[in-house]
Amino acid sequence: MKCYGDVESNCDTYGRLYNWLAATQNDATAGVQGICPTGWHLPTNDEWVAMLQSTGGEVNVEGNGRGLKSTLNYWRPVTAEGQIGTNEDGFAGLPGGGYFWTYSNTTIGTHAGLNVSRNYLYAESYAFWWTSTSATHYWMTGSTLGAYNIMTMPYYVRFDHTTNTLVTNVETLTSSYSYLNSVFSSSSWQHLSNSYNSSGLNAGYSGTALTNARANFYFSVRCVKD
Residue 182 within a domain: no
Q: Percent of the chain scored above 70 by pLDDT?
A: 59
Confidence of residue 97 (pLDDT cuts 50, 70, 90): very high
pLDDT class of 1 with cuts at 50, 70, 90: very high
Query: Is 110 among the domain residues?
Result: yes
- Three-state secondary structure call for residue 192: helix
Is 166 among the domain residues? yes
- Phi, psi dihedral angles at 150 (to 5 degrees): -75, 130
Has residue 42 been placed in a domain? Answer: yes
Please tell me the distance from the alpha carbon of residue 162 to that of residue 30, in angstroms, as a whole number.
30
Which range of residues forms the domain containing residue 44? 4-132+154-171+213-225
Report d(CA 104, CA 175) in Å as an integer. Answer: 24
Q: Which of the residue ranges 10-14, 72-76, 140-144 would you say has the lowest mean pLDDT?
A: 140-144
In a domain, 75, yes or no: yes
Report how far residue 199's alpha carbon sits from residue 205's, in angstroms, rounded to the nearest whole number. Answer: 12
On whether residue 178 sits in a domain, the answer given is no
Q: Quick: pLDDT tens for 106-142.
A: 666 655 556 677 889 889 888 899 999 887 665 554 4
| Distance between CA atoms of residues 13 and 9, nearest Å | 6
> Structural domain tally of the chain?
1
Average pLDDT value over all residues in the chain:
75
- Residue 74 belongs to some domain of the structure: yes
Would 62 be classed as within a structural domain?
yes
% of the chain residues with pLDDT over 90: 28
